[in-house]
Structure 1
């Protein structure tokens, strides 16, 4: 955007065409026209701000331009736009407004702050956005705000105040457990850093853009610089205030990860306990619960190789990064994808999905020597289950083939829980059993009962369940469980195992809506970002549970507050000082 007195360069059609093409690309990744408009990168020389002082509420010029694009693209009157922005505060955050502009403010901006040429550009862009949004079905998507029909709202109705109250309740059980350990007279309270973290999640932009947007949206007189925010995070992840500086000069080293883990996961665990004990979640549990365990990577792009041909690895490459998704068949010489890996345990099934425990994961990679550390999956599962058992009674544990191991099954069985874990078809006996099933004249599902599994002198019996190929698999699948399974129950267990896919949706939500981008290789920053993302995910889930409970309605799987909105509401709660 240009300041007063600066002229537009190039014909309106050229600038408008570029923005419309950009909007069309955004239509492929966003679910509503407001998100398309909010994520448009509008070059600074596109529109001319004719006045240096805004009218009369000191509204940000770019934010009002986005609002005008929304109004014209949807064919709304100024009254309708004002009403929508007032009703759904998320739109204010989305467009970068610090409040809903009045009809007079919108009219003033259009007539006095935009040049005639810029009004033509705005109209052309808005019409183009409407056309591409209609082609992608984004105009017919549910309007912003809680997607609940009026008859579902109960007597009081689901208002912004109720949503904010639910978010505050969930929020207050989480963020108070983390402290930076700074002096009492520090310039910024710890809550300010959580506010900035919410903006990071909301915008997925770099520090400068986030700082600019956070300063504009927040009602605080001043926000900390991005570097100050990073230093505060490192303080939260510092293992011990008494740690001598020379002992902590390499926060990426493997030797330090356990201390960093304890420093950040201890308050994480307390926050989870608060969420469960001090909200309605505990009352709504259908115990004993079913849980899913899985591992997700967070991509790390830099290469570990200083000289791959000579096998020389960078000395400062982060030790907690693991390789995964190895070289493809088309390119055997290609490198492994790399990333930080985290394991989570999540309640699934009929209960509200919530992450009860998480653990960092480290596996030996192709660039590491013989002395590299690889965490035992059984040890990770043991820690996850032990922590989750403090909160809930667990019945079934479901995991994918990554946890196919005798030691993992032994850990779960020793805790008195039932497991459902697939087995890789590898042994000759597996192949022989499958061939026998194929030759059977009528049966395509089979169960092999009471196969002994022995680990460290302990033995328990396992049932092997064989399932035929389907659209998801070209070969027979083998599901192992430590409970006795009659053949007629096999299909039911397979259907129940599909509940595990809820954890895949969880990871998708966390990465898409709650995990900000960062280039940092400091493990304190990486682990904190993921911990914070999981906690905001839980705040989202608990907020929706509270709303369901208050209004006593069955809303099915569709949350009253979508995942994409919760960081905006959270930032609004924190930034406005709503207590």
Structure 2
């Protein structure tokens, strides 16, 4: 946190120009104040917009900052946000490419993560707030990401929501298209939920290599459970 202000101040000059709320002219609060607040919230755990906006007033050097209730970015589509994010990443990569810390190692990792369980009303959002990976009655947003890993500076190149009914191959193709448009890709790392012949063939057809663990079969899970009950690792 001691470095947060220094880092975000530098990055803001590269990233913020790629984002736009399309608020028009004559607004009293500068648009960058909204992105400053978003960055402030993102660097702190479990800090909601309303509470965070109050803290931001005291910690920011800006004369005017947005209120929490006006902060939510409701009018931007996911496609718009992804496009702006990709443009920001492209600008970051151009800056990073000039440093010795950045190596175009060509290794990316694709993964799906889920948010905390959703406890509100899902009406109208059933395709977006889907079940969790565990077999239970909980619901959560799920996000698929593609990240530059290996010897390179770790950087999330793109992310996208996982919707009900989408196949894993659709998700992987979409994220690989983004990644290959931004950086040189040679190798793809994924966990075993992506162990599908269709996905692996698609990656091979792109001329890429991959590392994907094989799925654990039901019989193997049962054996592992029996060993655990006997106190064996």
Pairwise same-fold verdict (TM > 0.5): yes
Aligned-residue Cα RMSD (Å) equals 2.9
**C-alpha contact (below 8 Å) 2:104/2:184 kept by paired residues:** yes
TM-score by length of 1: 0.35
What is the Cα deviation at residue 285 of structure 1? 4.0
Show structure 1 runs of 4+ deviating over 6 A: none
Work out whether 1:378 is the aligned partner of 2:169: yes
Match of 1:397 in 2: 188
Distance change >3 Å, CA 192–CA 426, structure 1 → 2: same
What is the Cα deviation at residue 427 of structure 1? 9.7
Work out whether 1:185 is the aligned partner of 2:26: yes
Instruction: Give runs of aligned pairs for residues 159-170 of structure 1, distance below 5 A.
Output: 164=6, 167-170=8-11
| In 1: Cα distance, 2:40 partner to 2:104 partner | 36
Which of these residues, 405, 411, 417, is aligned with residue 202 of structure 2? 411
Structure number with the higher helix fraction is: 1
Q: SS of the counterpart of 1:390?
A: helix
Structure 2 gap ranges (5+): 221-231
| In 1: Cα distance, 2:60 partner to 2:103 partner | 40
| In 1: Cα distance, 2:103 partner to 2:50 partner | 46
* Structure number with larger C-alpha Rg: 1
**C-alpha contact (below 8 Å) 2:103/2:153 kept by paired residues:** no
**Bigger relative CO (Cα 8 Å, ≥ 6 apart):** 1
Q: SS of the counterpart of 1:299?
A: coil
Distance change >3 Å, CA 216–CA 181, structure 1 → 2: same
Which of these residues, 181, 204, 225, is aligned with residue 67 of structure 2? 225
Which of these residues, 359, 363, 384, is aligned with residue 160 of structure 2? 359
Work out whether 1:321 is the aligned partner of 2:122: no
| In 2: Cα distance, 1:266 partner to 1:207 partner | 24
Distance change >3 Å, CA 318–CA 286, structure 1 → 2: same
**Matched residues, number:** 222
Work out whether 1:348 is the aligned partner of 2:149: yes
Structure 1 gap ranges (5+): 1-89, 91-144, 147-159, 238-259, 305-313, 328-334, 364-373, 431-473, 476-579
| In 1: Cα distance, 2:162 partner to 2:95 partner | 30
TM-score by length of 2: 0.82
| In 1: Cα distance, 2:157 partner to 2:49 partner | 30
| In 2: Cα distance, 1:271 partner to 1:199 partner | 18
**C-alpha contact (below 8 Å) 2:14/2:91 kept by paired residues:** yes
What is the Cα deviation at residue 270 of structure 1? 0.4
Distance change >3 Å, CA 285–CA 210, structure 1 → 2: closer
